[in-house]
């Protein structure tokens, strides 16, 4: 009898400990923030390199800058690359991508309440299956907040704000790293430019099985071969089997003349072996210069007509 009651007590204690651990799985603390009717999710991106069978723990941080008490939901969505240069990735909602890892990502909770100025630290567990194939997998942890229209109207309009934390999981092994610059042009795409600043468009294609992080710089030279500027191309991610645009703005701007811009881009793997070079040439004629030129041409023809009409040129005998 005593033994049975001891077993029951031990099981009960284990259940209580387990429940308590789950109940306090995340932490909340007060932080100093300015009310801005939004929330912050940190970090924006997590990159993981792992072997089959690994279990990895990461965190997502939510900071509430919405006045009052707010409810946040936590869900998982796959993401893919985007062809829009202003949008890095596209969330897929309920759609499952070929690089999905959502079945192996476990947030500790799926909903929580935060007061204004509170920060929550939520553990995320990533389990790498023993049977996982080498390559890249891409799923995001999406934090959503729903606000109700407080105008007093009967519409009951709601606004849903969503912020995604991107998880880049790379399972070690025999992977394919293969990328190339598909295009390098000046925008707008013309040889002669009248206004600035000028924008360089880089189209990079990832043909491999893992994401890449290309980086490099653009060197701009004038007609005499003198370097007038060098613009860094900071590392950015390109998902497998996709194309991604990157726009680099030349803030310094060009003066009147002929220029050559050379892109030297490292594809993001085996740094000493994967540099690719592309070149584009263009002429910059500021509108002010063009206006002066047009005025000069008009004055030339006016003067020529005036001379022709008012003076008679005679050959000297």
Q: Which two tokens stand for residue 249?
A: 């703005």
Q: Which regions of the chain does DSSP assign to beta strands (E)?
A: 27-30, 39-42, 45-50, 55-64, 69-81, 89-91, 105-107, 111-115, 118-127, 135-148, 158-171, 179-187, 192-193, 198-206, 215-222, 227-233, 242-250, 257-266, 275-284
102-116, 124-138, 236-250: range with lowest mean pLDDT: 236-250
What average pLDDT does range 17-45 have in this prediction?
79
Residue 20 exposed, middle or buried by CB count within 10 Å (0-12, 13-18, 19+) = exposed
Query: Residue 110 — pLDDT band, cuts 50, 70, 90?
Result: very high
Residue 101 above 60 pLDDT? Answer: yes
Q: What is the pLDDT of residues 231-287, one digit of tens each?
A: 999 988 899 888 888 999 987 766 788 999 999 999 877 655 678 999 999 988 875
Query: Residue 192 — pLDDT band, cuts 50, 70, 90?
Result: confident
pLDDT over 70, % of the chain: 78
CA distance 180 to 200: 17
**What domains are there in the chain, each with its CATH number?**
25-171 (2.60.40.10), 179-290 (2.60.40.10)
Does residue 100 sit in helix, strand or coil?
A: coil
Residue 2 above 50 pLDDT? Answer: no
Does residue 34 sit in helix, strand or coil?
A: coil
Name the CA radius of gyration of the chain, rounded.
30
What average pLDDT does range 286-297 have in this prediction?
64
Query: Residue 191 — pLDDT band, cuts 50, 70, 90?
Result: confident
């Amino acid at each position: 009898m005593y033994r049975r009651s001891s077993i029951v007590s031990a099981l009960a204690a284990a259940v209580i400990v387990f429940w308590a651990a789950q109940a306090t799985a995340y932490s909340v603390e007060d932080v100093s923030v300015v009310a801005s009717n939004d929330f912050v999710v940190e970090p924006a991106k997590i990159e993981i390199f792992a072997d089959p069978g690994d279990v990895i723990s990461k965190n997502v941080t939510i900071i509430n800058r919405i006045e009052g008490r707010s409810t946040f939901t936590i869900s998982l969505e796959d993401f893919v690359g985007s062809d829009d240069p202003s949008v890095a990735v596209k969330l897929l909602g309920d759609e499952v991508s070929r690089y999905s890892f959502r079945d192996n990502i476990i947030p500790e909770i799926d909903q929580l309440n935060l007061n204004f100025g509170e920060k929550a630290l939520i553990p995320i567990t990533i389990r790498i299956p023993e049977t996982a194939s080498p390559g890249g997998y891409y799923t995001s942890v999406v934090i959503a907040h729903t606000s109700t229209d407080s105008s007093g109207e009967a519409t009951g309009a709601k606004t849903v704000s969503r912020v995604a934390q991107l998880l880049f999981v790379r399972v070690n092994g025999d992977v394919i790293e293969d990328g190339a610059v598909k295009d390098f042009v000046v925008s707008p795409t013309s040889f002669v430019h009248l206004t600035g600043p000028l924008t360089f468009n880089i189209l990079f294609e990832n043909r491999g099985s893992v994401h890449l992080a290309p980086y490099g710089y653009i060197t701009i030279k004038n007609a005499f071969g003198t370097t007038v500027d060098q613009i860094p191309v900071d590392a950015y991610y390109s998902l497998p089997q996709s194309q991604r645009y990157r726009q680099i703005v030349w803030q310094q701007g060009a003066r009147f003349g002929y220029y050559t811009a050379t892109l030297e881009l490292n594809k993001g793997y085996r740094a000493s072996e994967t540099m690719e070079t592309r070149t584009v040439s263009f002429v910059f004629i500021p509108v002010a210069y063009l206006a002066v030129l047009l005025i000069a041409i008009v004055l030339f023809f006016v003067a020529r007509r005036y001379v022709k009409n008012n003076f008679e040129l005679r050959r000297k005998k």
